[in-house]
Structure 1
Amino acid sequence: MNAFAPHHFTDKRLIAEFGFDAQEIAQATLDLAANEIGLKDWTPSAEDIMAFERVHELESLNEEMLKTDNFRNLLVSQAADMRVVLLLIAGCVVMMRRVKDTEAKAAQRRLAIEAAHIYAPLAHKLGLYKLKSELEDLSLKYLETEAYYMIKEALNATKKSRDAYIENFLAPIHTMLQEAGLRYHMKGRTKSIHSIWQKMKKQKCGFEKVYDLFAIRIILDSAPNKEVAECWKVFSLITNKYESNLKRLRDWVTVPKSNGYESLHVTVLGPENKWVEVQIRTERMDEVAERGLAAHWRYKGVKSSEGGVDSWLAGIRTALEEGRDPHVDDNEGLKENSIYVFTPKGDLFKLPVGSTVLDFAYLIHSKVGNRCVGGIVDGKNVSLRQVLASGQRVEVLVSNNQQPRLEWLNLVVSGHAKSKIRQSLREIKSRDSAMGKEVLERKLKNRKLEWDESILNQLIKKLNYKEAGDFFADILDNKIDLNATLDTYVELQKRDAGVGERAEVKSAEEFNFREVVEPISGASDDVLVIDRNLKGVEFQMARCCHPVYGDDVFGFVSVSGGIKIHRETCPNAHDMRTRFPYRIVKARWAGKGGSTYPITLHVVGQDDLGIVNNITSIIAKEEHIMLRNISIESNEGLFYGELTVMVDDTTQLNGLIKKIRTVRGVKAVSR
């Protein structure tokens, strides 16, 4: 490996706290990576150097955050090249070996936490079991000092009896293996202090009650084509001699772990009724177990020039991203389909890749998601559709006026967010439906009409609604001309009762019109002249389109005998002309009568400071126009306003619209 500046990959913060020489630590790290991991001939790229800096910056977070599974996954996600992870593990081992006598106890504790919760699990995932055990034992030494020394002293005190037991246990096995003509050697390995401590906690017992303090390792010198067969042969010999516990059988010879680990583990009942774990493997398997993927690829005979490094790195990434064998804790799995982001307080959350601010808002809480209008990511204002990346700090912006919309389902990727949005949309629809139903009930009561479920179902079907809820919700949103709808309701009632549909409908000829244009033939050629002094005819301006003096209009005869005045461009005009042509009356305006008309203008513009004030100032300066109501909502940098104004005629209205359109930042104005 080519040397490069130590500050590129060492943790400057911890080195300074311990008072170590940075160059010395850097060189020791490179040497360990080369000799104990097999990482050689690599010069980090600029991106790799940035990855080291990002990781060490993340390590400065609070201790509790470092202990989370998500944090370890976030740390690894910062490294595009997995050799960065290997060098980080090597660096942690080097530092842990040197902090025994330091006075910087706080820094020592922090380093031990990093070793225990970040780098030991990563080393385990990569099959670097020797380094993993060393990191676990050293971290226990500084985090649980009393427990560490208690176990260490107990192991020392029982060493002689333990060695004697191992010798007694192995004697018959030696004989059997020699008679079978196998080449081998054996090791009696006391389990690590950390492993024993974990067993004591899990079994809730003292040191003396832990029955499997050591493991026997039988290492065979086998030809490549005989490895599996000879491992199982040894298994057969041992289980013939000693009773086995097949529930504790672990076969990683037939199906190796994703990190390359191969071994056959069996637990047998030895002398004095003590359980003993026996590990059976070959020389090649043993080196892979000790040194991980580096040894795995070397045994495949692949040289660097033949792409061995790339294959090795591919193996590492596979182990880190996809490795989930049934005997490895689930929290050690890491997948690239996740990102990790922080809240402003430093809490860490896991999300699917492609998640947006809206996904994050729903992960925090459904109420936060429902009111989300945007966010602040790393100090910058963003929309709720902004895609997030690992390591970002995200703050959610909310508004009490916000509520979920159907299109939000296209702005999120997480199943959780989609589920919560659908749930909220159903609740909104149910609420709006209930409120719309109340509106209809009041209207029926006002017209002294009875609620008839059968007639109502006919009405809903006639208006092409598949669900009653949609019909009631549209009533609440004023998407339906309610008076015309009630007229249809009455007609259906009469039809249901056997009364002719036209029986009670007055012809336009029956009205006492003023200034009637000379009729040609039939009621359809009479013209209603709209004037507030008109006698004998009751008429109203339709609320669905709000006609104003000067608009092209027509009249629609209601069942009650009154006439509704609609604009020619009314959204309901086509339906009325198609279904009730005999109830259409031509109409025009008389001379100006001094009436004022309420008109709602819809304004869309940039959500800039002062823009609404500029619009209302224009209205205030108009002598004959009065602002009755205004409602404003803002979303994703835009504001949406509804302005209800009182105007005399279309000339005033068109002039006002033209002036509002000149306001800087206004994008659209419509009736």
Structure 2
Amino acid sequence: WFHQIREVIHNQETDSIDFLQDFKTSFLTEEIYVYTPKGDVKMLPVGSTALDFAFAIHSAIGVKTIGAKVNHKLVPISHKLHSGDQVEIITSNKQKASEDWLGFVVTSKAKGRIRDALKEEKRKVSDEGRYAVQRKLEGLGASMSQHNIDEMVHWYKLPSNLDLFYQVAIKNIDLKELKDFKVVGDRIEAPKPIKHVTEKHEFIPHIGKKDAELIIFGESSDKIVYNLAKCCNPIPGDDVFGFVTTGKGLTIHRSNCPNAAKLLASYGHRVVKTKWAKNKEISFLTGIKIVGMDDVGVVSKITNLISGELKINISALTIEAKEGLFEGNIKLYVHDKEELDNLVQKLLALQGIASVERYDMEDIPS
């Protein structure tokens, strides 16, 4: 109990509000008693998950956790534990902490270590963004000064330098936009907001439907130049919007695309309502990740369902197995979201399959 208090106090990332919340959650609630496969006992707050248990064992184990076996049954990391459960943690060196984890862990140690891991990962990725910003500024004849960085942070409406470098590194920010900045000596000055009004009149006629509020695309005879955003890989049936891009026509994003909030906030005048046209002749590339028990014939079951029963074309498939669990990454072509949803439901119905998730980002495995 005192060890848990020490964990919270020494966690420098925890502010006063988080401390009070963690104190109530971790120390003023009832506890459960959970066992390791060797019979060791771990005490955790009621509502703790398999991931809380993993962090209770060791932080290094927690950040690599991909699943667990509770009473010899495969469960996801968000599975809530009960007194008397025997828990075996399954890890993978490829696993990384996710911000989603903060939504279901309850112990202060797990929350603190997840935040630490996320910040450390962000710092590593941000280094690439920092070098990219420096090269771009030097190319413009400006310096890598705090003033210039602050100017960019303010322009992109980001909370910190780290966030700027991170967004550049993951290609959410295109540094080509800096050509609109004014260079005075070795300093840059962001364009005045009035520039956005001018851009509005430039881009709307490019659509080709001057007064239309809704653009329907996807038909084979469609004259609108459009492309599908790689950051979210939309397919017919997804809720989407169009973003007008110079020289590229319309770029289609999913409404829940990670970049949607920034595009709508900063470039709302270049966003147009769009809707898919029904077209079963065209297939779209998407990807799914499957996790389940590593059993004989599991790959055959999956491929027979996809290619044999549902007649869906597989572009690529990789399967990795470790410690009784397999993880499969599949790239395939579907006609629309309805076909993809049907596939996901049928895969989940197969014995031994624990989870099936669609890849949302451009990190669909190559």
* SS of equivalent residue, structure 1 residue 400: coil
* SS of equivalent residue, structure 2 residue 341: helix
Change (3 A) 1:431 1:527: closer
Maintained 8 Å contact 2:105/2:111: no
Counterparts of 1:547-562 in structure 2, within 5 Å, are 547-548=234-235, 555-558=242-245, 560-562=246-248
The counterpart of 1:496, out of the listed 182, 189, 195, is 189
The counterpart of 2:304, out of the listed 599, 607, 617, is 617
Cα deviation for residue 399 of structure 1 reads 3.1
Cα deviation for residue 661 of structure 1 reads 1.6
Mapped to 1, the partners of 2:272 and 2:232 lie a distance apart of 17
Cα deviation for residue 508 of structure 1 reads 3.6
The counterpart of 2:122, out of the listed 415, 418, 432, is 432
Mapped to 2, the partners of 1:590 and 1:410 lie a distance apart of 39
Change (3 A) 1:451 1:482: farther
2:346 maps to amino acid? T
Mapped to 2, the partners of 1:510 and 1:540 lie a distance apart of 18
Instruction: Give the match for residue 655 of structure 1.
Output: 339
Cα deviation for residue 566 of structure 1 reads 1.4
Instruction: Give the match for residue 316 of structure 2.
Output: 628
Cα deviation for residue 543 of structure 1 reads 1.9
Mapped to 1, the partners of 2:43 and 2:279 lie a distance apart of 65
Mapped to 2, the partners of 1:412 and 1:443 lie a distance apart of 38
Maintained 8 Å contact 1:455/1:492: no
Change (3 A) 1:409 1:633: farther
Instruction: Give the match for residue 159 of structure 2.
Output: 466
* SS of equivalent residue, structure 2 residue 332: strand
Instruction: Give the match for residue 202 of structure 2.
Output: 507
Counterparts of 1:407-422 in structure 2, within 5 Å, are 407=101, 418=109, 422=112
Task: Give the count of matched residue pairs.
Answer: 307
* SS of equivalent residue, structure 1 residue 626: strand
Cα deviation for residue 403 of structure 1 reads 4.3
Mapped to 2, the partners of 1:380 and 1:591 lie a distance apart of 46
2:255 maps to amino acid? T
Maintained 8 Å contact 1:538/1:562: yes
1:430 maps to amino acid? E
Q: Does structure 1 residue 400 correspond to structure 2 residue 93?
A: yes
* SS of equivalent residue, structure 2 residue 159: coil
More helix by share: 1
Maintained 8 Å contact 2:216/2:274: yes
Counterparts of 1:174-573 in structure 2, within 5 Å, are 344=38, 366-372=59-65, 380=72, 386=81, 397-404=90-97, 407=101, 418=109, 422-423=112-113, 425-438=115-128, 454=147, 456-461=149-154, 465-470=158-163, 482=172, 486=175, 496=189, 501-502=195-196, 507-508=202-203, 511=206, 516=208, 519-520=210-211, 539-548=226-235, 555-558=242-245, 560-567=246-253, 569-571=255-257, 572=259
Change (3 A) 1:457 1:539: farther
1:501 maps to amino acid? K
Maintained 8 Å contact 2:306/2:343: no
Change (3 A) 1:489 1:426: farther
Cα deviation for residue 620 of structure 1 reads 2.8
Cα deviation for residue 435 of structure 1 reads 1.5
Cα deviation for residue 445 of structure 1 reads 6.5
Maintained 8 Å contact 2:240/2:275: yes
Change (3 A) 1:354 1:573: closer
Percent identity, aligned pairs only? 19
2:172 maps to amino acid? L
Cα deviation for residue 545 of structure 1 reads 3.2
2:270 maps to amino acid? R
More strand by share: 2
Change (3 A) 1:631 1:504: farther
Change (3 A) 1:510 1:411: closer
Q: Does structure 1 residue 644 correspond to structure 2 residue 331?
A: yes
Higher relative contact order (CA 8 A, sep 6+): 2
Maintained 8 Å contact 1:508/1:585: no
**TM-score normalised to the size of structure 2?**
0.53
Q: Deviations over 1:580-612 (max 9, x none)?
A: 343245767899798653223466x76584666
Change (3 A) 1:399 1:615: same
Cα deviation for residue 438 of structure 1 reads 1.7
Cα deviation for residue 565 of structure 1 reads 1.8
Change (3 A) 1:542 1:614: same
Maintained 8 Å contact 2:102/2:114: no
Instruction: Give the match for residue 183 of structure 1.
Output: none
Instruction: Give the match for residue 9 of structure 2.
Output: none
Change (3 A) 1:528 1:486: farther
- Mind listing any 5+ residue stretches in structure 2 that lack a counterpart? 1-30, 361-366
Mapped to 2, the partners of 1:340 and 1:629 lie a distance apart of 37
Mapped to 1, the partners of 2:325 and 2:34 lie a distance apart of 30
Instruction: Give the match for residue 298 of structure 1.
Output: none
Q: Deviations over 1:205-230 (max 9, x none)?
A: xxxxxxxxxxxxxxxxxxxxxxxxxx
Cα deviation for residue 498 of structure 1 reads 5.3
Change (3 A) 1:343 1:645: closer
Which has the greater radius of gyration? 1
Cα deviation for residue 496 of structure 1 reads 2.1
Maintained 8 Å contact 1:599/1:645: yes
Mapped to 1, the partners of 2:282 and 2:103 lie a distance apart of 47
